[in-house]
Amino acid sequence: MGMGDSAGKVYLVGAGPGDPGLVTLRAKELIDTADVLVYDNLVNRQLLEWAKTDCEKIYVGKESGRHAVEQDEIESILVERADRGLRVVRLKGGDPFVFGRGGEEVRRLDAAGISFEIVPGITAALASAAYAGIPLTHRDHSSAISLITGHENPEKTELCVDFKKFANTGGTLCIYMGMGNLPKIVTDLLEAGQSPETPVVVVQWATLRKQRSVFGELATICETVAAEGLSSPAIIVVGDTVSLHNQVSWFEQQDQQTLADAERRFLNSGSEGDCSY
């Protein structure tokens, strides 16, 4: 925690992968009591309904190639509101410290003498795999997981990671923000010796009712994804454990009305939440 004298405080909170039922109890408590909510593009807007009626809500979402607010300005907003003595919740999709620029924001807060707290969230790779019925580790198939970004700077679209270094690691690759660079990623992995038959899944809108999972092999996944019309936001999972799925995601097999009813019960529940689903 930062050691500043400011009466205000900033909470960097993981909003999870999308389903509001997957946020932590601590996250809900902080949203309920926030004076200011500073939220990203992939935060489920239903979470904002938990905020107080007088809570200031500030959208600072970023998408590939465009952003609502520059990163420096986001950090300035956090500092300025906390300096006013306000309780500020910086709400980020997934986990604040997994490709969420949480580290940059914490450094700015610490330099400004602002107290802060980190509240982890379920990151998209873990949720996408689970909701597609895929174990990321398995003692017979994979004992390692690599979390990789498809482009390092969310304000740019070029591929900065050398994917050839990740081929044939014997583990599972979980690729964030990689849809725009999927052909290049596939080419690099194949050129580095990854088997063309390596199982791959692409999961779009994981944990939400509109989730779609497309399975295939490394050599043909680009064509398969194009044929199915998948786009961002999506997680790409590459590795032998993908072959352990049940053809169709357990989640996608569920009745949509059942999911809608469960979601409604949770959103209408008290501050302690409804864990019935």
Catalytic residues: 40, 62, 177
Residues 6 or more apart in contact with residue 190 via CB below 8 angstroms:
167, 196, 218, 219
Among candidate residues 22, 17, 14, the one with its CA nearest the CA of residue 262: 22
Q: CA-CA distance, 138 to 179, in Å (whole number)? A: 26
Q: CA-CA distance, 252 to 161, in Å (whole number)? A: 32
User: What string of DSSP letters covers 39-58?
Assistant: E-TTS-GGGGGGS-TT-EEE
DSSP state of 86: -
Q: CA-CA distance, 210 to 234, in Å (whole number)? A: 12
Strand, helix or coil at 217? strand
> Which H or E element spans position 130?
helix 124-131
